[in-house]
Amino acid sequence: MGTWRDEQNQQVLVNPRGGTQPLWRAAAVHGEPALHFDGNDWLAGDGMPGGSCTQVLVCQLDEPVFAGDHVGLMHTTSGSDLEFAGFNRARCRRGSTTATSSVIVQAGRPVILVASYDAVTGALRIHQDGVPVAQAACGRLPLGGAGLSVGGDGLAGGLRGLVAEVMVYDRVLAGVELDLLHDYLRARYVSGSAPSVRFSQVPQPGALLPRSETGSATARFTGELSGGTWDTLVLETRRDGAPFAVASQPLSYAGGRAGFSIASELHTGLHDWSLSLRVADAGGSRLLEVVPNVVVGDVWLVNGQSNAVAADYHAEHSANAENSSHWVRSFGSSVAGPESLQDLHWALAEGEDIYEHGAVGAWALRLGYLLQRDQGVPVCLINGAFGGSALIQHLRNDQKPEDLSTIYGRLLQRTAAAGVQSSVRGMLWYQGEADAQFPLDWARQWEELQEAWSLDYPALERVYVLQLRDDCSAGGRELREIQRGLGAPGSRVAVMSTTAVPFHDGCHFRYAGYREIGDRLARVVGRDCYGSLDTQEIDAPNVIEARWDDPAHSRIRLKFQDPDDQLVFQPGAELDFLTEDDVAVLGGTVDGGSVVLQLAATSSTARIHYDGHPLDGPWLINSRGVGALAFANLPVR
């Protein structure tokens, strides 16, 4: 939820980041609506009084607060903060003075906090569940209005839990007025008769549910109900806003509690699914949960280093404008560190930010956009790439696979939290610049990584590797050749070139370059995984042999894997071909599925290399502009 208005529809709290929004829950705190914050969400607005005030907050922690934790609840720019910090006790800070509750707050139970500041006497007080628990004298502080934030302040640790009610008064509540407030809050959130539900399984708003082989997914609600005399559970399903299905089941109570498990079968396609769970009896019904904007589709992971991060390095602001789609989702944040646990919500995939909520990178977003457009299937992309990372940094900690201090562990944790780990269809990999001087180490570590993926992503069908460009990898000739060999016939690995990708800056690409990478991948993924009929000239031309083309050894014929490729040898591309004896290549001509290189003189070279080059320029390509894979040490026979 990005906006929270008061009862008069005037005072507004909004999400300042747009994407990191708390989720609205229909019956989360003793059967009453609440917002769920995951540690990365917060709402902010104006209107906090700068003088005497009373802050009221009803919240419920997901888990205990441990030493060192800082959990923001309500913050103001006037220096009056209500929070948990370092232990399970609430504290209120005003300036440099802190009042700390004498009573521990238990996770999983609602707590009513009322903090007041008297600008005349300087008294700072906290009431917890109607009982005075803290008092301090802080003196008189400067007056003036202030901003207010709920759930955190975007700087320190945020709340992982629920906020059901927020009130702000421009005076100190006391006596009967304070008693009446406590009576109201206790009746609503502690002793009232509303049904209380505790879910052990529930779909998230905005989630992508992985489709099965039959093209469907099950949205299941499992949990326990207590309170009230409701006798029936009802699950209503809507597709694109229209009624689709209704399921119901009787509730059976034991000790005042009724366990339940109810589900709806959803189908893939560009459809928005909405689910509403209610309890009912002869006298009516009450809403327990609403889950909007659910889609059913496929899951793809992105990983590597900075060209897999593929952020908006040149501040062009083009990736989102061209490719954002309601049908392309992501989960959590690619932030580097254990704080990734503080972002457990779904989002529309974002192609320009770096290490942020929903960030997937420019070419991945382009790929997702094209898949949903051309194949009619919603897509989830989760990007775990980290700039400058060597392959060894991507390896699995076998003792603790979800180790959040590792790149591997953070990506695994996100897929598990999203409920998609066992359904990942493919991995998209662009990495190796950091390993250019250690090709043999890279090859060994790559095998380790493949084995780990097979363990943790059992449904993984395809791995797409983007071959390095001759750029900030400091050469990388041998590593590019190792990568070229990964796509052997029968392997689940396919290799795509980055040669002839335009707008290269020497290391990264401008948006048009990342767009081209997304286009290339979309075509091969569409063919391999979706049965697309767009199959001509979509693979990177790949050399399979080199032979002398004349007795004088002044011409070399390069034969390519696909004899139907319509190759194009652009003038100047000869500079990218190198012989071992330094005899220059003067030019090249296309002969069917081969290229004949004309040398400057008779040569005795036993091997030939094709490096490509940084920046833009002439290339060896096919008719759709896909550059040939670079190669090294190819024997000339």
Residue pLDDT, tens place only, 14-46:
876 666 778 888 888 888 899 998 887 888 887
For residues 527-543, give the mean pLDDT.
97
In the structure, what pLDDT confidence band is assigned to residue 190 with cuts at 50, 70 and 90?
confident
Distances (CA, A) of 466 to 305, 476, 482, 576: 11, 14, 12, 19
What's the whole-number mean pLDDT along residues 259-267? Answer: 97
pLDDT higher than threshold 60 for residue 470: yes
Mean residue pLDDT across the chain: 91
Query: What are 537-569's pLDDT values in tens digits?
Result: 999 999 999 999 999 999 999 999 999 899 999
CA distance 530 to 372: 11
Strand-pairing partners, residue 55, are 115, 168
Give the integer Cα–Cα distance in Å for 13 and 42. Answer: 9
The SS3 of residue 433 is helix
Q: Over the range 251-265, which residues count as b (16 or more CB within 10 Å of their CB) and which as e?
A: beeeeeebebebbbe
**CA 29 remoteness from chain centre:** 28
445 or 38, which is more confident? 445
Residue 454 near residue 417, CB atoms below 8 Å: no
Residue with tokens 């050749």: 481
pLDDT band at residue 451 under the 50/70/90 scheme? very high
Asked whether 244 and 237 are in contact (CB, 8 A), the reply is yes
Topology of domain 543-635 in CATH is: Immunoglobulin-like (2.60.40)
- R_g (Cα) of the chain, nearest Å: 30
State both tokens at 54: 């009373």
In 390-521, the DSSP E strands lie at: 424-430, 462-466, 493-496
pLDDT band at 150 (very low <50, low <70, confident <90, very high): confident
Domain locations along the chain: 3-194, 197-290, 295-530, 543-635
Number of H helices, E strands in the chain: 8, 38
What pLDDT is attached to residue 316? 97
Q: How confident is the model at residue 1 (pLDDT cuts 50, 70, 90)?
A: low
Angle, helix 477-484 to helix 439-456, in steps of 10 degrees:
40
pLDDT tens profile 387-435: 999 999 999 999 999 999 999 999 999 999 999 999 999 999 999 999 9
Q: Which residue has the higher pLDDT, 86 or 184?
A: 184
Percentage of the chain with pLDDT > 70?
Answer: 93
Per-residue confidence (pLDDT) for residue 77, from 0 to 100: 62
Q: In this structure, which topology does domain 295-530 adopt according to CATH?
A: Rossmann fold (3.40.50)
- How confident is the model at residue 128, as a pLDDT? 93
pLDDT tens sequence across 49-63: 777 888 899 999 888
Distance CA(507)–CA(217), nearest Å, equals 41
Local structure of 435: helix, strand or coil? helix
| DSSP notation for 245-293 | EEEEEE---BTTEEEEEEEEEEE-SS--EEEEEEEEETTEEEEEEEEEE
- In CATH terms, 197-290 corresponds, of 2.60.40.10, 3.30.70.580, 2.60.15.10, 1.20.140.10, to 2.60.40.10
Distance CA 5, CA 56 (A): 16
Q: Which has more pLDDT, 108 or 497?
A: 497
CATH number of 3-194, picked from 2.60.120.200, 3.90.1150.10, 3.40.640.10, 3.40.50.10490:
2.60.120.200
Average pLDDT (247-264) is 94
- Residues contacting 57, CB < 8 A, separation 6+: 73, 74, 82, 112, 113, 150, 163, 165, 166, 167
Q: Which letter does DSSP use for residue 627 in this model?
A: B
Q: Which residue has the tokens 């286009």?
A: 519
Residue/partner pairs of 556-560 with CB below 8 Å, 24 or more apart: 556/596, 556/597, 556/599, 556/608, 556/636, 557/591, 557/594, 557/595, 557/596, 557/597, 558/594, 558/595, 558/596, 558/597, 558/608, 559/593, 559/594, 560/593, 560/594, 560/595, 560/628
pLDDT tens-digit readout, 107-130: 888 999 999 888 888 888 999 999
CA atoms within 13 A on the CB side of 208: 32
The predicted pLDDT at position 2 comes to 63
**Confidence (pLDDT) at 96:** 78
Handedness of CA 532, 536, 541, 546 (dihedral sign): positive
Tell me whether domains 3-194 and 295-530 share a fold.
no
Predicted local distance difference test score (pLDDT) of residue 38: 84
- Residue 140, pLDDT > 90, answer no
> Which stretch of 140-144, 340-344, 349-353, 565-569 has the lowest confidence by average pLDDT?
140-144
Phi then psi for residue 86, to 5 deg, are 90, -10
In this prediction, residue 114 carries a pLDDT of: 94
Average pLDDT over residues 60-71: 72
The phi, psi pair for 2, rounded to 5°, reads -100, -10
Least confident of 82-86, 220-224, 572-576, 620-624: 82-86
342-351, 514-523, 566-575, 612-621: the lowest-pLDDT one: 342-351
Q: Residue 40: its pLDDT value, please?
A: 79
Q: Which pLDDT score is estimated for 68?
A: 55
> What's the rounded mean pLDDT across residues 297-312?
98
Q: Determine the Cα–Cα distance for residues 620 and 449; give it in Å rounded to an integer.
A: 32
What was the pLDDT predicted at 473? 65
Better-scored residue on pLDDT, 515 or 96: 515
- Whole-prediction pTM: 0.89
Q: Which residue type is seen at 92?
A: C
Count other Cβ atoms within 10 Å, centred on residue 535: 12
| pLDDT given at position 27 | 85
